[in-house]
Amino acid sequence: MRIALKLAVVVSVAAALSGCTAEQAPTKQPSSPAASSPASTPASPDPAPVASPTAEPTELEPLAETPTPTLPPVAQPTKVGGPWTPVDVTVTTTEQVKAAEALPESFRTFLASRVGVEDDAGCTTSEVVIRAIHPDGFAFGSEESDCGGGQVVWGIDEGAWHYINQFEDAIPCTEFVTNEVPPGAPGLRCLDENGDAKDF
């Protein structure tokens, strides 16, 4: 309000000196305020840098993943039931896997793709022990790797061998029942409904 009054007085004085009335004198708009200090006005952001077409990329290209070996399809066996066949096979090399004639050929092919090979989690299988084979397409044993080890039940599903159950300590028997693992594998233990360990 004081600025407006001062401007009116200045305009009137100027008009009087120039011989014009206040109504005839050109009105002058207040000049824009001086640039404020950086503390009161946020600094405008710097424009984003534009990459030169010849500039080197700033990020490394992702490493190509090691392709998972493609194994031949495995026929799903007809379920015949019956007992497990005990075997005593320990393998640490692909040569030993290939020589293990007590194992089905399709299972040997699967193990050969595992022993000494780093998996997706960065673990390399160093030893596999197979204790029993079942004609319905199952195997039971244990596996060791540089990430640890434990017992394993393998099985054929959707045309390939898979890990059905992996465990260190005994697991509920219902896990095997759910996965249709045939009972009676020598050495395969599980927990009943009371949490007591028993042979499956």
Q: Can you give the pLDDT at residue 48?
A: 52
CA 89/CA 142 separation, integer angstroms: 11
Q: Distances in Å between the alpha carbon of 71 and those of 52, 115, 157, 194?
A: 46, 14, 13, 41
Beta-bridged to residue 191, according to DSSP, are 172, 197
Pairing status of strand 197-199 against strand 171-172: unpaired
Retrieve residue 49's tokens: 């840098």
Q: Can you give the pLDDT at residue 46?
A: 54
| φ, ψ (nearest 5 deg) of residue 58 | -85, -15
Q: Can you give the pLDDT at residue 56?
A: 44
Q: Can you give the pLDDT at residue 188?
A: 97
Render pLDDT for 166-188 as a digit per residue (tens, 0 to 9).
999 999 999 999 999 999 999 99
Retrieve residue 129's tokens: 């022990």
CA 73/CA 195 separation, integer angstroms: 39
Retrieve residue 110's tokens: 């699967």
